[in-house]
Amino acid sequence: MDKIKAGIIGTGNISGIYFDNGSKFDAMQVVACADLDVERAKARGEQYGVKGCSVDELLADPDIDMIINLTIPQAHASVNLRALEAGKHVYVEKPFAVTREEAQEVLALAAQKGLYVGSAPDTFLGGGIQTCIKLIEDGWIGTPIGATSFMLGGGHESWHPAPEFYYQVGGGPMFDMGPYYLTALVAMLGPMTRVTGSARISYPERTITSQPKAGQKIQVEVPTHIAGVMDFASGVIGTILTSFDAKGGTVLPRIEVYGSHGTLQVPDPNTFGGEIRVCRAGQKEWSTIPFTHGYTENARGVGAADMAKAIQTGRKHRANGELAYHVLEAMHGIHDASEGGVHYIMKSTCERPAPLPLGLRPFCLD
């Protein structure tokens, strides 16, 4: 079966891993790239042995089946819509869109045209989260009851060369890192039915200390410390804490899942591997669990490749638009709940993504 031919739009830093991994999979081949800066696209294309061109040229190419959208978040929805109008399937980096309305428009157009739409993060397809899914399904911790998740740091202005975006609409710790955590939780525990939370802007102005913009001021537009609570359809109650305000760091775990017969410590959902530990009821020591699945190194692009395999076979892809929208709605819902002093009832739901089968050959998704 011929590979699905993919073109990348957006040739910034993150594109490198998509070029590195994209054509290794049995279902997908990256054959072209485009950018608003056409010369950058051509240089990137030459670096990776693919065609570099303008966005218009890429979208008009009849040989391109699928677009991988790696633009800035504010452009995600508009580029997705252009790709769908051009008859291309589209896979986008996180977040799925900035607003719920934009995301709904993308989903509606994809359904109208019978095209696939998917979204990062795909880290939940890595060996770390997939092993945790299997442990839960196999009853290692009994019936899941609760989950906690923590992502705390001191902010991007101390290290990122252009940190302004992280404090503008569409940014903040929830929209920057929340997709990894909430997607992992849904992959393990299923969809959410209700969320609530509290959020604040701790520092209305922040000073960049990284180069090359050291000394410049950032006016903060979005909450930078958010505490959320999620009710899952399964009955699990989860919490999430995301912050750019933990100036002294943290020793908290990334994710823990609590069950009737034990506790599961889940690795960083922004990675594909990481240490997995279980402490079962009655035990005093934690046990480290080996991986049951592959993709334990940086396998970004596996979600796009899984979508390509789904296009070939007609099955549902795992990092799909419904999952991405559900997570997007939950993030907005936590902010809405804080602003309104209410619980937010989720309007969307999604299927828990099918786990990857055991024993897959490298770079094969079925």
pLDDT, one tens digit per residue, over 192-237 is: 999 999 999 999 999 999 999 999 999 999 999 999 999 999 999 9
Cα-Cα-Cα-Cα torsion 185, 187, 190, 191, nearest 10 degrees, comes to 70
Among 178-182, 250-254, 324-328, which stretch is predicted with the lowest mean pLDDT?
250-254
What CATH superfamily classification does 4-119 receive?
NAD(P)-binding Rossmann-like Domain (3.40.50.720)
Q: What is the mean pLDDT of residues 24-38?
A: 96
Q: What is the mean pLDDT of residues 317-340?
A: 98
Name residue 34's beta-bridge partners.
9, 53
Contact between 349 and 233 (Cβ < 8 Å): yes
Sign of the torsion angle spanned by Cα atoms 31, 14, 176, 36? negative
User: So what's the pLDDT on residue 342?
Assistant: 96
User: So what's the pLDDT on residue 265?
Assistant: 98
pLDDT in tens, 141-163: 999 999 999 999 999 999 998 89
Q: How many CB atoms lie within 10 A of CB 185?
A: 28
Q: How confident is the model at residue 89 (pLDDT cuts 50, 70, 90)?
A: very high
Domain chopping of the chain, boundaries = 4-119, 124-288
User: So what's the pLDDT on residue 6?
Assistant: 98
Residue 165 has pLDDT above 90, yes or no: no
Name residue 277's beta-bridge partners.
265, 288
Indicate the average pLDDT of the chain.
96
pLDDT in tens, 129-140: 999 999 999 999
Residue type (1 letter), 304: A
Gap between the Cα atoms of 91 and 122, Å rounded: 11
Gap between the Cα atoms of 265 and 148, Å rounded: 10
Burial class (CB in 10 A: 0-12, 13-18, 19+), 74: middle
pTM to 2 decimal places: 0.96
Angle formed by the axes of helices 15-22 and 302-313, to 10°?
50
User: So what's the pLDDT on residue 169?
Assistant: 87
Q: What is the mean pLDDT of residues 71-86?
A: 95
Q: What is the CA angle 49-51-55, rounded to 5?
A: 140
Tokens standing for residue 257: 């899942």
Tokens standing for residue 354: 């099918």
User: So what's the pLDDT on residue 170?
Assistant: 85
What b/e string do you get for 22-51 counting C-beta neighbours within 10 Å, with b at 16 or more?
A: bbebbbbbbbbbbbeebebbbebbeebebb
Q: What is the CATH number of domain 124-288?
A: 3.30.360.10
3-state SS track over the chain: CCCEEEEEECCCCCHHHHHHHHCCCCCEEEEEEECCCHHHHHHHHHHHCCEEECHHHHHHCCCCCEEEECCCHHHHHHHHHHHHHCCCEEEECCCCCCCHHHHHHHHHHHHHHCCCEEECCCHHHCHHHHHHHHHHHCCCCCCEEEEEEEEECCCHHHCCCCHHHHHCCCCHHHHHHHHHHHHHHHHHHCCEEEEEEEEECCCCEEECCCCCCCCCEEECCCCCEEEEEEEECCCCEEEEEEECCCCCCCCCCCEEEEECCEEEEECCCCCCCCCCEEEECCCCCCEECCCCCCCCCCCCCHHHHHHHHHHHHCCCCCCEHHHHHHHHHHHHHHHHHHHHCCCEECCCCCCCCCCCCCCCCCCCCC
Q: What is the mean pLDDT of residues 21-39?
A: 95
Contact between 50 and 64 (Cβ < 8 Å): no
